Structure 1
Amino acid sequence: MNWKVLAGVLLVLYVTVATTKEIRNTASNIQHGLSLAKEIGDFVVAKNFTNVIGKLATAVTPYLGIIGPCVSFIMGFVAKTETAELKAIKDLSTKVDNRFDRVDSQFDEVKNLIEWVKVQVQYSSAEQRINALNARFENIYTFSTKDVRKTTSAFVNSYDSTYQESGTILYQGIMQGGHVFGGGLFTSVVKHTNYHRGKSQAFMLGLLKLLMKAAKLELTYYQLTHKDVRGNQNQWSTRFSEVRKKMMATDAAIVKEFKTQSGKDIDDLLKNNLKTAMNNNDFNNMIYGYLTEKYSWKDWLTVTYNDITGGNVHYVGECGGYIKFRNHGRNFVAASVDRSKRHINMATARSIVSKVDSCKVTTSYRPHKHNIYSRKDADKAYQTFPSSVRDHCDPYAAQGVISNNGYDVHIKGLPSRMYWRKQEKCNHVFIFG
């Protein structure tokens, strides 16, 4: 046996096996990083702000770390047949980009509120440049392997001629904001939306998507032009950490402003929807819908009725809510609880309300059998709520007694949060928590 030939064959086999194993390990690492980016993208598409914040803490750095190797991996297949590993990476890359490319109508709506194009041309241009270059990037892995050199060359040329540090401009706009947006773009959008948490979160997530694209584009460029990939990766990792902190701080500021801002909103809605133009039922439905949409982390109770006066006809209590008596032709009461709060025990609530002494019913037989209803004054009936309800805010955030005497009373809240007894001849009695 020719031992030299055998040794040569074994060496080739060893190198082949080792190379194959290395390729698979590299592909596996790349797929893991892309999967993490896809998870972030899924949460962004779902507008799950809390999960995005959580995932950013652990997923961004590993994702940034595989962008360079991913580009090199694809470049290694120039004019070669695609392997299963390359195909899997391309498919996953497509899924990631689909999530970060998805158009968000709410993001566009909020941009219009802050006059994205008119007032801050540099930020609008940065967005356009990032999206245009991203289309070039996607060609790298969507075109066939024989076109890789052509697509990467087109990407580099486009980056050199059009990118203009757009990622840095956007990052600085978020963190600093320049002269127009003191405090940054996040702070500006909060003010322009009057502390609308959902819209502000949508805007922050929209900018995060742009930053994710920008980081990917810069790292790809650095890899293709043999620049300091590691330094750029570390820079973006730090940036995302700072942006994440800014997102959390902005969201916390909105929640902190809830009490003040919701009070302003209620005042505006009362002023702009007079009793002469909108009846109590329509107003109560409208304001309930507004509050539950804008302050979506709260469950609400709204009560609207005529602008009656006197404790004998109405008496209500609430914790941390609003009582707006004789306000533009109506009386209005609102209360809220965090959605995470346990719902009230309905059997207990029913028992409490049924024991409120608000109506006495007697039977008369002259001239025929019939019931006589004697309504108890609202303030006196209110005092028959147990002290655990009247004098505490947990588990109940609001309760009340309102005369049912043609005062057009409308009450709205989740059935699992509220129990309402309508005594047609006497009083409305309700409890909420």
Structure 2
Amino acid sequence: MGAQGGESAEMKFLREQFAQVHAKLDSISLQLDDVKRLIEWRTTRVMYANYETFIIAASSILNNYVAAPESSREVLKRQFIAAFQHNPLAPLKLYQAIVEKNFVIAENLAAAVVHYTQNHRRHVINFLLAMQRLIMRGAQLEIAYEKMVHGDGAGNVAKTVWDGRMQKLLSRMKQLETDVTNRYHSQMTSDIGRVILDNRHLSNKDFSGHMYRFLADKFDRRYWIALSYKDVSGGDKHWVSYCGGDARFRTHGGRNVVVASSNPGSSRFTRAKGNAALDAAQRVGSGSHAESWTNLIRSKIGNSCSDAAFVGSICWGCDVWFTMRSDRYVYRKMSNRGDINTVVFG
């Protein structure tokens, strides 16, 4: 009772800081290692990895100090002060490596992770969250050091400075997420060429599933459809109307590939609307010409990407395979002077 009642102002301050920081850290998911393996640390300066090692080691000493009995604290305090003085700018350098925009890629961790993950939003965010956690731990070290060495006022000043920096860091992280998300189309068009080339050996069925899983994982803020079928040509055999995607005809492996995507926030598509459009088109009929069927169905569902992100008609017997979420599409075999596959997705 007497020992707790006599707890120093310094220890009270540090315990409060630990409680605040640890509460924040608990809310941050750590996926640093998976993404860090993608980054060429030699290129982005191995010193950043050294900063991480330093912060973790110094944090361990500080944790021991806070948890230690009074009799052991002075020794641990000296150890912590000496350790922090070896690299006092590490937290600031890590912060600058994320927030500063005018660094070259070799010095800018934010630019590096975007570059090496090729705009993979989830990997970028997981890495930034992990760096946020590391910087918060580094800030905790600096605040504790200032408190121990220069007193209450210096500790409070350091805390105020780091509160402001953490707000800027959060803003920068949100901006990076927005930037990466907005690059989905240019990155997607680059990626699908590689996916097609690397999977020439797959059947159309397997390729459709593989392409869909790739897109749905990497660009996970959108709904996707991936189609693969024989490398036919001509509007009588196939005709597609698509948004947020790309089409590659007569590709490596002798196939046609079409991908499309919709924005969950603006899509008006429902399966009921899709089926109603197919019903209306079927009542009119359009022979066996793919272009005519696609244009007819599009006129019934609506011309906006929000109405449908994909409307396609592809010849019967052309080994057509498509993969998407089961609640985001309708399909029908149309028969009117010939059979044809029709798909609507949104």
Asked if TM exceeds 0.5, the reply is: yes
> Do the aligned residues in 2 keep the contact of 1:359 with 1:426 (CA within 8 Å)?
no
Q: How many Å apart are 1:323 and its aligned residue?
A: 1.9
Q: Residue 237 of structure 1 aligns with which residue?
A: 163
> Do the aligned residues in 1 keep the contact of 2:239 with 2:290 (CA within 8 Å)?
yes
Q: How many Å apart are 1:308 and its aligned residue?
A: 0.5
* 1:112 and 2:37 are equivalent in the alignment: yes
- What TM-score do you get using the length of structure 2 for normalisation? 0.85
Q: C-alpha distance in 2, partners of 1:208/1:286?
A: 34
Q: Compared with structure 1, are the counterparts of its residues 135 and 422 closer, same or farther at alpha carbon in structure 2 (3 Å cutoff)?
A: farther
For 2:247, what is the secondary structure of its paired residue? Answer: strand
Letter matched to residue 401 of structure 1: S
For 1:335, what is the secondary structure of its paired residue? Answer: strand
Q: Which has the higher contact order (CA 8 A, sep 6+)?
A: 2
List gaps (5 residues or longer) in structure 2: none
Letter matched to residue 323 of structure 2: K
Q: Compared with structure 1, are the counterparts of its residues 298 and 280 closer, same or farther at alpha carbon in structure 2 (3 Å cutoff)?
A: same
Q: C-alpha distance in 2, partners of 1:266/1:240?
A: 37
Q: Compared with structure 1, are the counterparts of its residues 159 and 27 closer, same or farther at alpha carbon in structure 2 (3 Å cutoff)?
A: closer
For 2:41, what is the secondary structure of its paired residue? Answer: coil
- What TM-score do you get using the length of structure 1 for normalisation? 0.69
* 1:44 and 2:28 are equivalent in the alignment: yes
Deviates more, 1:347-356 or 1:177-186: 177-186
> Do the aligned residues in 1 keep the contact of 2:35 with 2:123 (CA within 8 Å)?
yes
Q: Residue 294 of structure 1 aligns with which residue?
A: 218
Q: C-alpha distance in 2, partners of 1:34/1:341?
A: 43
> Do the aligned residues in 2 keep the contact of 1:130 with 1:210 (CA within 8 Å)?
yes
> Do the aligned residues in 1 keep the contact of 2:241 with 2:294 (CA within 8 Å)?
no
* 1:377 and 2:289 are equivalent in the alignment: yes
Q: Residue 344 of structure 1 aligns with which residue?
A: 269
Deviates more, 1:173-182 or 1:319-328: 173-182
Aligned length: 336
Deviations 1:65-115 (A, max 9, x none): xxxxxxxxxxxxxxxxxxxxxxxxxxxxxxxxxxxxxxx4x4223323222
List gaps (5 residues or longer) in structure 1: 1-18, 46-103, 361-373
> Do the aligned residues in 1 keep the contact of 2:281 with 2:300 (CA within 8 Å)?
no
Letter matched to residue 306 of structure 2: D
Q: Residue 395 of structure 1 aligns with which residue?
A: 307
For 2:40, what is the secondary structure of its paired residue? Answer: coil
Pairing of 1:28-43 with structure 2 (within 5 A): 37-43=21-27
For 2:50, what is the secondary structure of its paired residue? Answer: helix
Q: Residue 7 of structure 1 aligns with which residue?
A: none
Q: C-alpha distance in 1, partners of 2:310/2:158?
A: 55
Q: C-alpha distance in 2, partners of 1:286/1:116?
A: 31
Q: C-alpha distance in 2, partners of 1:303/1:184?
A: 38
Q: How many Å apart are 1:331 and its aligned residue?
A: 1.0
Q: How many Å apart are 1:30 and its aligned residue?
A: 6.7
Letter matched to residue 231 of structure 1: V
For 1:44, what is the secondary structure of its paired residue? Answer: coil
> Do the aligned residues in 2 keep the contact of 1:358 with 1:376 (CA within 8 Å)?
no
Pairing of 1:218-233 with structure 2 (within 5 A): 218-227=142-151, 228-233=154-159
* RMSD across aligned positions (CA): 3.2
Q: Residue 66 of structure 2 aligns with which residue?
A: 141
Deviations 1:350-383 (A, max 9, x none): 22223333998xxxxxxxxxxxxx9622222223
Deviates more, 1:244-253 or 1:303-312: 244-253
Q: How many Å apart are 1:117 and its aligned residue?
A: 4.9
* 1:267 and 2:193 are equivalent in the alignment: yes
Q: Residue 412 of structure 1 aligns with which residue?
A: 323
